[in-house]
Structure 1
């Protein structure tokens, strides 16, 4: 079963461009991971400092491999002082079964 989540954080006032640059570079690396199916980055229209990242991994093992990637910790260390939250807020998602 795929592993899906939404990561959210808000750039501090004036740090939007630096956060956007960091996340663009990080997204390129994550999208190259064998088990990554989706890594889409958004900003909220009404609040452009709010970033939302929709992530989908092939399965739990692929997600664990993502967590252990060597570029993850440096990305988070660079991001943390630039955002309002203590860390990205993660919301894990389950698909809703739809019957026809």
Structure 2
């Protein structure tokens, strides 16, 4: 049995692109949800509305930004690792060809 790390570069790239697409879809869905909530919250009065805008919205925004950063970091790491592995594999193949 062969040991080592093997990466299917096509799958890695597809996964990275899929994650980027999902990241955009999440942002779009959250934006739409916020717009719909704002329509409802506009009818609220007093402390409920103040609590929503003063506490809920800032917390919501921080969590969405954190999720976006984490997904972005995962995509970047996946792309960088795949590219590094591909360069290393190509360099190793080239070195073996030069042995002849």
Scaled by the length of structure 1, the TM-score of the pair is 0.32
Structure with the higher strand share, 1 or 2: 1
| Greater per-residue helix proportion | 2
Q: Return the TM-score normalized by structure 2.
A: 0.32
- Give 1 or 2 for the bigger CA radius of gyration: 2
**Comparing both chains, which one has the higher relative contact order based on Cα–Cα distances under 8 Å and sequence gaps of 6 or more?**
2
